[in-house]
Amino acid sequence: MWNTQFVVALVMVALSMVVATVFDRRCRRVTEPRGLPGNGMPLLEAAFLAGGPARAVDTALVRMEREGRVVISRAQRVTVTDTAPRDAVETVLITAVGGRTGRDLSVLRASVLGSPDVQRIGDALAARGLLRRPAALKAAWRARRLVVLALVVTLVLGTAATVQWLSEPGRDAATPPFFAFGALAVVAVVHLVVGRPPRARITPAGERQLQLMHGSSPWRPREVDRGHAALVGAFALDGPAALKDAADRPLREALGGTAPRPASLVKAGRSSSSGGAAETGGAAGAAWCGTTVSSCGSSGHSGHSGGHSGHSGGHSCGGSSHSCGSSSSCGSSSSCGSSCGGGGCGS
């Protein structure tokens, strides 16, 4: 009889659906729900939301450069002229640059992106529901695979039971097994379609926040001197494409930017990629995996592709360790891009 086979398939489908539902809800959970900060959002949080940890680091550098506290040469050498930091990220940057000889920009980025002070910015955004945590997002997609596995097992057992039923002499008086297995398979397919985890790290609330900041007037962060606030705010939201003036061309090229795109092509919630990495899904850049991850690493930087590409690669997970490498990986569809740790997995 095929009853035993059906019970096995039923148990597998039911358990996998329960597990997938639990992890999906955990991925969407908001621990510190608050209203949108609007134009009062802190500078580095806005940069992280728009372009990930790389954008936050570059924004801190641009602010310091505009205010005359660092010098970024055409040879992409960073030198600190004022060692008094304004926030934790600047402290990390100043420490990483070291002495008067300065440090190469790409090396500086690689050593700073995975620092806990940078990673915590993404954790704070995830806590208030603007991003999704890399680890939680990754776990939700892994749990979804259990439902797919249960569906495959159901189809295999259903086929075997049907073949066995067809070979039995008294099958005319028995119930065909394919109806029961088929119904169970349909339930699993419906769950896969309806209960699909989000792909983007940025949440709808995060998208609305970016739209608010891409308003009709330039966003001017309060943490920046008035004379440079508009430029630094634009860089936080749009990356090197915001450096449109000829005088800013050396800085734009040093930061890996190309010629700026027309303003009409820079949509709210979508920022250009600021470097060699592929664009990430959602706002979180490829090096954000959350501060609970023990190792970190990154090379280059990333941008935000409003909804949409599937989580870039080339970086490894940021975490509580202070040592970072330039190219290891952690993540399902890419290195830290899709979901690491994540990327919490948080486009």
Domain containing residue 142: 3-30+133-194
Inside any domain, residue 180: yes
Q: pLDDT grade, residue 299 (50/70/90)?
A: very low
Number of domains in the chain: 1
The pLDDT tens digits for 47-92 are 999 989 999 999 999 999 999 999 988 788 899 998 889 999 999 9
Phi, psi of 179 (to 5 degrees): -65, -45
Closest CA to 282 of 266, 306, 314, 301: 306
Q: Residue 38 pLDDT > 60, yes or no?
A: yes
Mean pLDDT, range 1-30, rounded to an integer: 89
In order, the DSSP letters of 214-253 are TSSS----TTS-HHHHHHHHHHHHHGGGG--SGGGHHHHH
Inside any domain, residue 146: yes
In order, the DSSP letters of 272-333 are ---SSSPPEEBS--TT---TTBS-EE--S---EETTTS----S-B--BS-S-EESS---SSS
CB 302 within 8 A of CB 273: yes
The pLDDT tens digits for 126-172 are 998 899 988 888 999 999 999 999 999 999 999 988 888 788 766 66
In order, the DSSP letters of 109-141 are HHHHTTSHHHHHHHHHHHHTTSB--HHHHHHHH
Inside any domain, residue 13: yes
Compute the mean pLDDT over every residue in the chain, rounded to the nearest whole number: 75
**Pair type for strands 103-104 and 280-281:** unpaired
The pLDDT tens digits for 227-237 are 888 999 999 99
- Residue 88 CA to residue 223 CA, distance in Å, equals 13
Q: Residue 264 pLDDT > 50, yes or no?
A: no
SS3 146: helix
Inside any domain, residue 281: no
Q: Which pLDDT value is given to residue 300? A: 36
Q: Which pLDDT value is given to residue 164? A: 83
Contacts of residue 263, Cβ cutoff 8 Å, sequence gap at least 6: none
Token representation of residue 63: 């602010």
Instruction: Say if pTM beats, i.e. exceeds, 0.85.
Output: no
Inside any domain, residue 288: no
Residue 232: other Cβ atoms inside 10 A: 25
Lowest mean pLDDT among 93-102, 105-114, 163-172, 281-290: 281-290
Inside any domain, residue 173: yes
Inside any domain, residue 301: no
Burial of 325 (0-12, 13-18, 19+ CB in 10 A): middle
Residue written as token pair 């039911």: 14
- Residue 342 CA to residue 137 CA, distance in Å, equals 6
